[in-house]
Amino acid sequence: MRVFPCRPLLVLLALAPLGAVAAERVAVAAAANLAYVLAPLDAAFARANPGVNVTSTIGASGSLVAQISRGAPYDVFLSADLDYPRKLVQAGGAPAGATVVTFAFGRLVLWTTRGTLELGSVASVMNNPAVRRVAEANPRTAPYGRAAEEVLAHLGLVDEVRAKIVVGENISQAAQYVASGNADVGFVALSLVAAPHHPSQGRWIEVPSSLYAPIAQGAVVTTHGADHAAAQRYLEFLTGGEARRIFAEFGYGLPPAP
């Protein structure tokens, strides 16, 4: 299995042009694996839609659904899976019959900043006695964490690895555990460790896609954004050519072109 260099993790919380006076505003709630890709996405959307101010907030998909269902004023929800947008529709946080758009497919990697740790395969890393802490996102609220659990189950390593697991609230926090040295390795999103334009730090191997269900990522306009034309344009933008180019640059798989 090939070992690839990766880039360090930064935390992105919001993106908005300073001092901008916008006639329209789109508030985006996005899964944490999208932390790096939001900046170029929002910038590309803003270029195509002058006068629209985009703000983006990241978090675990399940946590964002809970916030939106309780009335958090987000216009568009970008999830790490398709289930959470559908649940949002069922909960009334998005209009009945709202379209859930698949915009990308996530890819899971095993990442380490330990220079001497051998990355042969997922199983060999999990069985290595030098690996004492393995980071993953909370599988109850983060689809990438759920995918990590599927990998361990598929390999028959759940019981062996359970005592080593450290759980982050979302995939960004799981990656922070690895970056800070609080975990030896971590199951993280490729988009977080292979983001372009950042200096290399650490190493990673991609987890075979046969070990977990496809991470199809979906978006939906919320009830709050249903009457905002710019929110619908943002949803449509996610499947357009420029957005697809950006997603591919950050290591995402792409659904068939619309």
Of the candidates 94, 67, 77, the residue with the CA atom closest to the CA atom of residue 217: 77
Say what the pLDDT of residue 1 is. Answer: 52
| Residues of the chain above pLDDT 70, percent | 90
| Residues of the chain above pLDDT 90, percent | 86
Predicted confidence band at 194 (pLDDT cuts at 50, 70, 90)? confident
Contact 145, 169 (CB under 8 A): no
pLDDT at 221 over 50: yes
Exposure string over 53-80, b if 16+ CB within 10 A, otherwise e: bbbbbbbbbbbbbbbbbeebebbbbbbb
Of the candidates 52, 53, 54, 59, the residue with the CA atom closest to the CA atom of residue 78: 59
Say what the pLDDT of residue 23 is. Answer: 64
Lowest mean pLDDT among 20-24, 137-141, 177-181: 20-24
Mean pLDDT score across all residues of the chain: 91
Lowest mean pLDDT among 43-57, 65-79, 186-200, 211-225: 186-200
Measured distance CA(99)–CA(118) in Å, rounded: 44
- Domain boundaries for CATH 3.40.190.10 within the chain: 4-105+214-249, 107-211
Query: For the segment 4-31, what is each residue's pLDDT rounded down to a tens digit?
Result: 554 444 444 344 444 444 468 999 999 9
Predicted confidence band at 258 (pLDDT cuts at 50, 70, 90)? confident
CATH class entry, domain 107-211: alpha beta
pTM for the whole structure: 0.87
The kind and range of the H/E element at 151 are helix 143-154
CATH of 4-105+214-249, one of 1.10.260.40, 3.40.50.300, 3.40.190.10, 3.10.180.10: 3.40.190.10
Lowest mean pLDDT among 84-88, 92-96, 134-138, 197-201: 197-201
**Across 190-204, average pLDDT:** 80
Predicted confidence band at 3 (pLDDT cuts at 50, 70, 90)? low
- 106 DSSP β-pair partners: 215
Strand order in the sheet with 134-137: 4-5, 203-206, 108-112, 185-189, 134-137, 165-168
